[in-house]
């Protein structure tokens, strides 16, 4: 039942005992004929329906919210972080993790560095970019297969050029510089060089130490960085040094034939005789037999080292001899009137060497410390048959020297070998024939005693024209040049002996 306070009802007093009581009276609306009146049950039902409808809307909205949140979570879960791998700017695959790619690349580099230590290299440019993608898929197997095919590690090397000519490739410039330094050090004096003779003066000094003024390579050297597919083609430091020295050339061998001699073989192959001696140290006295195998390889350095050194030392000045002739004394006899005394001189000189071989020697300063005193002698000029004059003439005309006197690798070649188109052999000085015969080494040969302390020997003759005991004159025909004994070619082996000791004939021949 509904009711309200009517407007016409008196208002309650604010206070007091006589205030009227409020009464609640139902209001009965009169329904019009066109609008039926609602029953209380209908109103209640409507209100319940409205509440149910409201609750349904609230549930629907909550469902939509829950669905949206769930769908959002699901959609978000389908977005994945993928890693796109590119090689030199071209995509080759998608990785699940950048760490896998970086670890693979690192492993490739470590394997290369372990296999080729100290070798620089270049690689492909590997780029990894991340991207979030709905339902993004990765394929590590396919990616690494592509990397195996396309990823490369190429070695960087240094090409070496000498005088513009390509020599080889080393792993880095430092390797080449180390080889060059070793080559250079081989030709810088560490002790006095016995070949330096100070212009033939006899030195009177303790071992001098040279001052190195300059050392440089004769030929220009250049380098170029390059990339190679196979690091195994790099030259080692030792191999590069060997090539610079010319020791890598193929050996040339030759078998001695009938009629050969050292000078003949050198002329045939257009090589210095010294090459034959250096390569074949077993040769003694120029004796070679048919069938002997010779190494004729000419090892010419590809790079030459030029060094200039300054030497300072005190040397002897030869005293010289002042000779007075006496026709009453036998020629070849000498009487000393006054002994000489050598002087002393301080020399400063510069030596220039190419690959350790002396090519120039120049005195730049000298100071005489002690003047020499000449030796004074009286020399006989009276000629007596069979007695040597002390002066020796060439035993052949138009001689051509094929081998000189001297030591070769610790062994002495005791004479001088010569050839000539004229094969007549003549006595070098007056004397007496003390031997005219044959042995296995010298073959047919003659020995003349000049009866003044000197003897001469003429070997490998084809014919002997004198007999033992005969007196011969200087220039007299004594035999014919040949190739008997240990000889493979026609030539004359000539010796001069002083007091039975072999000396260099070139110091005595006119």
DSSP-derived secondary structure for 129-184 = EEEEEET----HHHHHHHHHHH--EEEEEEEEEETTEEEEEESSHHHHHHHHHHHH
353 with 404, same domain: the answer is no
229 domain-assigned:
yes
435 with 311, same domain: the answer is no
Average pLDDT of the chain to the nearest whole number:
83
- 14 or 454, which is more confident: 454
Q: What are phi and psi of 429, to 5 degrees?
A: -160, 170
395 domain-assigned:
no
336 with 447, same domain: the answer is no
Condensed to tens digits (0 to 9), the pLDDT of residues 481-495 reads: 999 988 878 999 999
Tokens of residue 56, six digits: 């349904």
pTM for this one? Answer: 0.49
Span of 291-305, 310-324, 376-390, 400-414 with lowest mean pLDDT: 400-414
Q: Quote the CA–CA distance of 441 and 419 in Å, as a whole number.
A: 18
Q: Give the CATH number, domain containing residue 323.
A: 2.20.230.10
Total number of domains in the chain: 4
Task: Identify the pLDDT of residue 76.
Answer: 65
Condensed to tens digits (0 to 9), the pLDDT of residues 434-465 reads: 999 999 889 999 999 998 889 999 999 999 99
429 domain-assigned:
yes
**Range 138-154 average pLDDT:** 91
**Range 256-282 average pLDDT:** 87
Query: Contact 214/138 with Cβ under 8 angstroms?
Result: no
169 with 258, same domain: the answer is yes
108 with 132, same domain: the answer is yes
Query: Contact 308/350 with Cβ under 8 angstroms?
Result: yes
340 domain-assigned:
yes
362 with 414, same domain: the answer is no
- 47 or 480, which is more confident: 480
209 domain-assigned:
no
Q: Which of 295, 321, 350 is the last residue of a domain?
A: 295
Task: Identify the pLDDT of residue 407.
Answer: 63
Q: What are phi and psi of 185, to 5 degrees?
A: -70, -20
Other beta carbons within 10 angstroms of residue 281's beta carbon come to 11
The C-alpha angle with vertex 494 and arms to 507 and 508, in degrees rounded to 5, equals 15
Tokens of residue 457, six digits: 């020997």
The C-alpha angle with vertex 487 and arms to 447 and 409, in degrees rounded to 5, equals 90
The C-alpha angle with vertex 264 and arms to 259 and 268, in degrees rounded to 5, equals 110
Q: 464, 465, 460, 445: which is closest to 491 by C-alpha?
A: 460
288 with 312, same domain: the answer is no
412 with 484, same domain: the answer is yes
Cα radius of gyration rounded to whole Å, the chain: 58
Task: Identify the pLDDT of residue 207.
Answer: 57
Give residue 405's pLDDT band: very low, low, confident or very high (50, 70, 90): confident
Exposure b/e, 174-194, CB count within 10 A at least 16 = b = ebbeebbeebeeebebeebbe
**Range 263-289 average pLDDT:** 86
291 with 313, same domain: the answer is no
Condensed to tens digits (0 to 9), the pLDDT of residues 48-62 reads: 778 788 888 888 888
Q: Which of 321, 354, 382 is the last residue of a domain?
A: 382
343 domain-assigned:
yes
66 domain-assigned:
no
Task: Identify the pLDDT of residue 414.
Answer: 79
Residue written as token pair 């760490």 = 99
469 domain-assigned:
yes
Q: Give the CATH number, domain containing residue 184.
A: 3.10.350.10
Residues spanned by the domain of 313: 306-382
Q: What are phi and psi of 369, to 5 degrees?
A: -95, -40
Q: Quote the CA–CA distance of 143 and 92 in Å, as a whole number.
A: 7
Q: Which of 315, 349, 382 is the last residue of a domain?
A: 382
Residue written as token pair 């010779």 = 294
**Range 65-92 average pLDDT:** 81
**Range 118-128 average pLDDT:** 89
Our measurement of the distance from residue 41's CA atom to the centroid of its chain's CA atoms, rounded to an integer in Å, reads: 117
Task: Identify the pLDDT of residue 58.
Answer: 87
> Is pLDDT at 433 greater than 90 in this prediction?
yes
Condensed to tens digits (0 to 9), the pLDDT of residues 215-236 reads: 999 999 999 999 998 888 899 9
Q: In this structure, are strands 454-464 and 492-498 parallel, antiparallel, or unpaired?
A: antiparallel
336 with 253, same domain: the answer is no
429 with 502, same domain: the answer is yes
Say which residues have a Cβ less than 8 Å from residue 438's Cβ, sequence separation at least 6.
444, 445, 484, 485
Task: Identify the pLDDT of residue 350.
Answer: 92
Task: Identify the pLDDT of residue 198.
Answer: 43
145 with 175, same domain: the answer is no
């Amino acid at each position: 039942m509904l009711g309200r306070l009517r407007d016409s009802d008196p208002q309650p007093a604010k206070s007091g005992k006589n205030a009227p009581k409020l009464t609640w009276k139902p209001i009965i609306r009169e329904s019009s004929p066109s609008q039926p009146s609602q029953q209380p049950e209908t109103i209640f039902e409507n209100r319940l329906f409205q509440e149910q409808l409201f609750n349904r809307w609230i549930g629907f909205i909550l469902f939509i919210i829950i669905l949206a949140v769930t769908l959002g979570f699901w959609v978000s879960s389908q977005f994945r972080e993928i890693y796109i791998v590119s090689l030199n700017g071209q995509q080759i695959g998608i990785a699940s993790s950048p760490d896998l790619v970086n670890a693979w690349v690192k492993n490739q580099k470590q394997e290369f560095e372990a296999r080729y230590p100290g070798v620089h290299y270049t690689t492909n440019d590997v780029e990894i970019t991340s991207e979030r993608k709905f339902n993004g898929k990765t394929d590590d197997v396919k990616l690494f297969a592509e990397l195996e095919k396309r990823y490369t590690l190429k070695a960087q090397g240094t090409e070496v050029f000498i005088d513009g000519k390509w020599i080889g490739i080393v792993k880095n410039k430092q390797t080449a510089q180390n080889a060059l330094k070793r080559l250079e050090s081989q030709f810088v004096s560490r002790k006095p060089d016995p070949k330096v003779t100070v212009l033939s003066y006899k030195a009177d000094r303790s071992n001098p130490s040279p001052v190195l003024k300059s050392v440089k390579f004769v030929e220009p050297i250049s380098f170029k960085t390059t990339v190679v597919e196979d690091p195994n083609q790099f030259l080692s430091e030792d191999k590069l040094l060997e090539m610079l020295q010319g020791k890598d050339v193929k050996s040339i061998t030759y078998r001695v034939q009938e009629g050969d001699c050292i000078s003949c073989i050198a002329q045939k192959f257009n090589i210095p005789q010294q090459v034959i001696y250096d390569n074949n140290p077993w040769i003694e006295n120029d004796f070679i037999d048919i069938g002997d195998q010779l190494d004729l390889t000419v090892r010419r350095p590809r790079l030459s080292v030029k060094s200039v050194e300054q030497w300072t030392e005190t040397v002897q000045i030869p005293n010289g001899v002042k000779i007075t002739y006496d026709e009453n004394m036998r020629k070849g006899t000498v009487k000393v009137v006054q002994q000489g005394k050598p002087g002393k001189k301080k020399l400063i000189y510069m030596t220039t060497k190419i690959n350790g071989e002396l090519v120039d020697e120049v005195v730049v300063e000298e100071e005489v410390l002690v003047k020499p005193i000449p030796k004074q002698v009286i020399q006989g000029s009276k000629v007596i048959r069979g007695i040597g004059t002390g002066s020796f003439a060439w035993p052949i005309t138009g001689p051509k020297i094929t081998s000189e006197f001297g030591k070769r690798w610790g062994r002495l070649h005791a004479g001088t070998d010569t050839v000539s188109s004229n094969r007549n052999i003549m006595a070098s000085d007056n004397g007496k024939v003390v031997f005219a015969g044959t042995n296995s080494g010298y073959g047919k040969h003659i020995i003349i005693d000049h009866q003044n302390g000197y003897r001469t020997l003429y070997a490998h003759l084809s014919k002997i024209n004198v007999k033992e005991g005969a007196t011969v004159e200087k220039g007299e025909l004594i035999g014919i040049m040949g190739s008997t004994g240990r000889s493979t070619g026609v030539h004359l082996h000539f010796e001069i002996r002083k007091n039975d000791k072999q000396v260099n004939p070139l110091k005595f021949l006119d």
